[in-house]
């Protein structure tokens, strides 16, 4: 039996690691990294830097796994993601089979926390169900928590629900009815522009916890342009930007 540790590593800063994550990193023999051949590979470099900062030159290896291409031409989004997950699963498991001795421990570093919009656990699901691998998860600090801390706010109001969604869904469906607090991730198109700004406050953060951290908050109608400008500026300087935001709607009095 081989063990795979899926370790949440926060936003790439060693100070975001929990002690449990540090212990897990030090126990890994081989780290497996899906390489996309794009700007996202800068995050792969950050993961390597993190390991050398925490473990030093210990007795561990990095094995890169070429990430299979995803069909972005289709409108059948869910099916395309399912096919892509299956392809990634095969490649990852084959690579692990080739590089991991029985009894050794594999590590996969998940950005933030693996519980939020991270495919690692889905990709490993096949192995989990066939019983070939023992899987352990170490939680990390998510961009969601970084956002709340940067703005010094609680994401939940007394007795109220919080919804976490994607930019794509926000653009298609707007703020879900009955939910007045929505965290939006994976939004390459600034979907907040399509939301009726009346009574909506936004708490926005980009590169949270990183060297380019930027935050803006205010009435959506008043600060949307400032967010667009700030986002565009980071993107043009670095080539990419990751941002997360909370939309908080006034709750009508009954």
- Given the rule CB under 6 A, which residues bind ligand SAM? 11, 111-113, 116-118, 142-143, 185-186, 205-210, 242-244
State in angstroms the smallest separation of the CB of 140 from ligand SAM: 7
| Least Å from the CB of residue 203 to ligand SAM | 12
CB-nearer residue toward ligand SAM: 24 or 100: 24
**What minimum distance in Å lies between the beta carbon of 8 and ligand SAM?**
7
Contact 54, 26 (CB under 8 A): yes
Q: Which of 166, 225, 171, 175 is nearest to 198 (CA)?
A: 175
Among 222, 198, 6, 211, residue whose Cα is nearest residue 114: 6
Q: What are phi and psi of 198, to 5 degrees?
A: -60, 120
Least distance from ligand SAM to the Cβ atom of residue 242, Å: 4
Q: For ligand SAM, which is the closer residue by CB, 200 or 241?
A: 241
Give the end-to-end CA distance of the chain in Å, rounded to a whole number: 58
Cβ closer to ligand SAM: 185 or 200? 185
Q: How many whole angstroms separate alpha carbon 27 and alpha carbon 190?
A: 40
Between 232 and 251, CB nearer to ligand SAM: 232
* Contact (Cβ atoms closer than 8 angstroms) between residue 97 and residue 130: no
Pairing, β 61-66 against β 181-185: unpaired
Closest CB 174 distance from ligand SAM, rounded Å? 18
Q: What are phi and psi of 75, to 5 degrees?
A: -90, -10
Q: Which one, of 25, 35, 38, lies nearest residue 63 by Cα?
A: 35
Which CB sits closer to ligand SAM, 116 or 203?
A: 116
**Distance of closest approach, residue 254 Cβ to ligand SAM, in angstroms:** 34
Complex with ligand SAM: residue 105 or 142, whichever CB lies closer: 142
- Measured distance CA(53)–CA(13) in Å, rounded: 10
């Amino acid at each position: 039996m081989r063990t795979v540790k899926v370790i949440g590593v926060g936003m790439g800063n060693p100070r975001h690691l929990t002690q449990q994550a540090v212990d897990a990193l030090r126990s890994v023999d081989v780290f497996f990294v899906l390489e996309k051949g794009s700007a996202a590979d800068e995050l792969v470099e950050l993961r390597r830097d993190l390991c050398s900062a925490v473990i030093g030159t210990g007795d561990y290896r990095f094995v890169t796994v070429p990430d299979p291409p995803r069909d972005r031409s289709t409108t059948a989004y869910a099916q395309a993601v399912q096919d892509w997950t299956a392809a990634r699963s095969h490649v990852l498991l084959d690579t692990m089979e080739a590089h991991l001795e029985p009894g050794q421990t594999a590590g996969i570093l998940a950005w933030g926390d693996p519980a939020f919009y991270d495919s690692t656990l889905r990709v490993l699901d096949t192995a989990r169900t066939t019983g070939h691998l023992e899987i352990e998860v170490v939680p990390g600090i998510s961009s969601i928590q970084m956002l709340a801390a940067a703005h010094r706010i609680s994401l939940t109001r007394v007795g109220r629900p919080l919804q976490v969604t994607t930019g794509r869904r926000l653009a298609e469906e707007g703020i879900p009815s009955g939910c007045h607090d929505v965290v939006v991730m994976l939004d390459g198109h600034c979907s907040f522009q399509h939301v009726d700004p009346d009574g909506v406050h936004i708490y926005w953060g980009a590169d949270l916890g990183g060297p380019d951290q930027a935050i803006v908050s205010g009435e959506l109608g008043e600060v949307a342009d400032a967010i667009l400008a700030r986002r565009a500026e980071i993107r043009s300087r670095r080539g990419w930007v990751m941002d997360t935001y909370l939309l908080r709607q006034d709750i009508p009095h009954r």
